[in-house]
Chains A and B, each alone.
Chain A
């Protein structure tokens, strides 16, 4: 079997008239000769926003202890929301226990007013709870 290469010239071989022996070698994928083909321009990648490289300030390998616990080094939060993703990826997201925005504004105003008086030493008499 003659290996034909797309784009290669066969004119010279036809003139000589010599029959070529069949090629017994295993067929390979046709490779384009560098000289014959022009380099094909790659299709332009779709424009995307430039994103910053992912920063890994802390990167380490943790091993489960005998009770199957992992230690979080340099933990910033006391509580974490744990989620397991596909492929066994475990995602830890620090939690905020309390947000001032969630308090009703009138309660926050009440606390502020009470605190201002409290700092000045102005509070009520002890209440009777009995």
Chain B
């Protein structure tokens, strides 16, 4: 059995969010939507702890964010088969068996984040054509 990861929260905001939500839950002050969302977050984090690349999480690296932060940043979905699902941003580390949660997006703004965008650079940047290798046939003697 593979060892489970330790889930840590990024400082300061994620840790603050986690403690606040736990306190609210203990006092029974969470609203219906907060209960539903916090349940999804917990479930996703449990899956992440067991297997970061669980199929339901749809974890994948966000290259743009990785370049920006200079370490690999991954994104996982809080819900499955939902285009407007909430998302978790996380990274491996700082220790070997650690996963740090960097941010949580409740749900993307309608019509913007959930959509896959077309790049406008495509037409402007020409690409060099790959050199075609000539087929060499050996002559039989």
Chain A positions near chain B (C-beta within 8 angstroms)? 55, 57-59, 73-74, 76-77, 79, 81, 93-100, 102-104, 107, 110-115, 117-119, 121-127, 129
Tell me the bound Cα distance from A55 to B98 in angstroms: 49
B56 within 8 A of A: no
Total chain B interface residues with beta-carbon distance under 8 A: 50
Known: A74-B127, A93-B118, A102-B113. A129 touches B7 (CB 8 A): yes
Least CB distance, A67 to chain B, in whole angstroms: 23
For window 97-115 of chain B, which residues contact chain A by CB distance below 8 Å?
98, 100-105, 108-109, 112-113
Choice from A79, A98, A112 contacting B64 with Cβ under 8 Å: A98
| Contact call B122/A94, Cβ cutoff below 8 A | yes
Which of chain A's residues have a CB closer than 8 A to the CB of B10?
Answer: 110-111, 113-115, 117-118, 123-124
For window 1-57 of chain B, which residues contact chain A by CB distance below 8 Å?
6-15, 18, 42, 45-46, 49
| Contact call B127/A95, Cβ cutoff below 8 A | no
Known: A58-B129, A74-B127, A98-B64. A129 touches B119 (CB 8 A): no
Least CB distance, A89 to chain B, in whole angstroms: 16
| Contact call B116/A57, Cβ cutoff below 8 A | no
Known: A111-B65, A124-B9. A99 touches B117 (CB 8 A): yes
Of chain A, the residue at the smallest CB distance from B15 is: A124
Tell me the bound Cα distance from A10 to B45 in angstroms: 102
| Contact call B14/A114, Cβ cutoff below 8 A | yes
Tell me the bound Cα distance from A123 to B101 in angstroms: 9
Of chain A, the residue at the smallest CB distance from B125 is: A76
Tell me the bound Cα distance from A115 to B66 in angstroms: 10
Choice from B11, B42, B89, B103 contacting A123 with Cβ under 8 Å: B11
| Contact call B94/A96, Cβ cutoff below 8 A | no
Known: A57-B126, A107-B105, A118-B10. A95 touches B65 (CB 8 A): no
Tell me the bound Cα distance from A125 to B18 in angstroms: 11
Tell me the bound Cα distance from A104 to B114 in angstroms: 12
Least CB distance, A110 to chain B, in whole angstroms: 5
Interface centre among A59, A99, A107 (most CB of B within 10 A): A107
Of chain B, the residue at the smallest CB distance from A115 is: B69
